[in-house]
Every structure is written in C-alpha cells, then in structure tokens.
Chain A
C-alpha cells in the first residue's frame, strides 16, 4: 500500500533562518507531487506541484522553492523565512488525475 511521510511534524524557526521540509512517498511510481499551505482560518493554498523529477511548477511567487531530486521525494525550502511563512504545510500525491492523498503535515511557526 502507498504511504506518504513528512518531517518534521512541528518546527519553530526564527525570522531569517533557512527552511527545509521533506516529503517522501512509498508504494507508487512516478506520482504527481504537491506542496500546499494552510494558514490559520484560511483555505488550502497550492504552492508547488511536480509531474516528474526536476519538473517543478510554482503557483505563488514568494521566498519559497521546491525541488524533486528523486521520483518519490519532494523538498520545500527557503533561504530566509518570513513571519508570513507560518502555517501548516501539507505534501500530497496523486497518480494521473485520480485521488489525491495527503501526508500528516508540518506545523511551522516563524517567530
């Protein structure tokens, strides 16, 4: 069966510090991968999606970036965090246009 992992589960970082969140998927090949952010009291915002290794589409211009170094690995990064980057970050995967599956999420607090 398929499994999606995200780490860390929670993170508290100072403004201006770097960020690296990792997501890995098991049990499937060539998935579409997604990074979403859920801010307090707001809906899900799509940040990045990838249809293959090295292929990244950015939805929101900001100080975040994403990379896909391996087929089932998706990384969200920042060189310098802003207060507005605080939120709940969710990784998800799908195959073709089918069902979307989410990971457990990472709660990021920027102080």
Chain B
C-alpha cells in the first residue's frame, strides 16, 4: 500500500531564506508526483507536476526534484517571502491502474518578515 510522508509537519523561517520541503513515498511505481499549496480555508493550488520520467521541474522560485528509486521528492523555495506562508502538500499517482492520488499530510510553512 502506497504511503506518503512529509517531514517536517511545520517549519518557520526568516524572510529571504532558501528552504527545502521533503516528501517520501513507499512504492516507486508512480506515474507522477505533484506539489500543491493550500492557504487557510482554501482549496489546493497545483504548483508543480513531475512525471515519473523526469528528474525536476521549475516554476519561478520553486524547483521540485524527483528520485523515484529512493522514493523521495523535494520542493526547493528560493528567497522565501511572507506570501509563501501556507501548507504545502505532495501527492503521488500510482501506476496501479486506478486514477487515485495519494496525499501526504503536508508541511505548514511560516515565513517571518
């Protein structure tokens, strides 16, 4: 059974710091991995999608990497800003023949001004 873990559960950093969020999954048989952002009381916003054949994806100050064989992904945020404060979730799409996405429990990020 696929399980997705995100550590740490919460993180506080000063503005301007570069930071890394971690996502681990137990089964390497995945189609893709997606990173989301969730602001309090809001839906999830898709940030980056990495296909299983890719190693990384970049969007602005965000860079996500994927090491499928070790079951790990990282989301790198450069020059963090207070507006980056949110909960970040990762999700994997298994190759098990269904259309389900398995989510981690998220990392709650607070960037201090």
**Residues of chain A whose beta carbon lies under 8 Å from any beta carbon of chain B:** 32, 34, 42-44, 46, 49, 51, 57, 59, 88, 90, 92, 94, 97-105, 107
Contact = CB atoms under 8 A, between A and B. Distances in A.
Interface centre among A42, A43, A105, A107 (most CB of B within 10 A): A43
A40 B104 CA distance: 15
Nearest to A4: B43
Contact of A100 (B41, B42, B91, B106): B91
B106 A43 contact: yes
A36 to B, nearest CB: 8
Dominant SS among interface residues on chain A: strand
Contacts of A100: 34, 46, 91, 101
A102 B37 CA distance: 11
B88 interface: no
A55 B69 CA distance: 34
Contact of B43 (A32, A49, A99, A104): A104
A99 B46 contact: yes
Interface string B37-59: 00001111110010000000000
Interface size class of B (residues with CB under 8 A): 20 to 34
B99 A44 contact: no
Interface string B13-37: 0000000000000000001101010
Contacts of A92: 44
Given A44-B103, A46-B100, A51-B99, A99 B44 contact: no
Given A90-B43, A97-B31, A104-B42, 11 more contacts: A43-B105, A49-B100, A51-B99, A59-B100, A92-B44, A97-B32, A98-B32, A99-B46, A102-B43, A102-B46, A105-B42
B66 interface: no
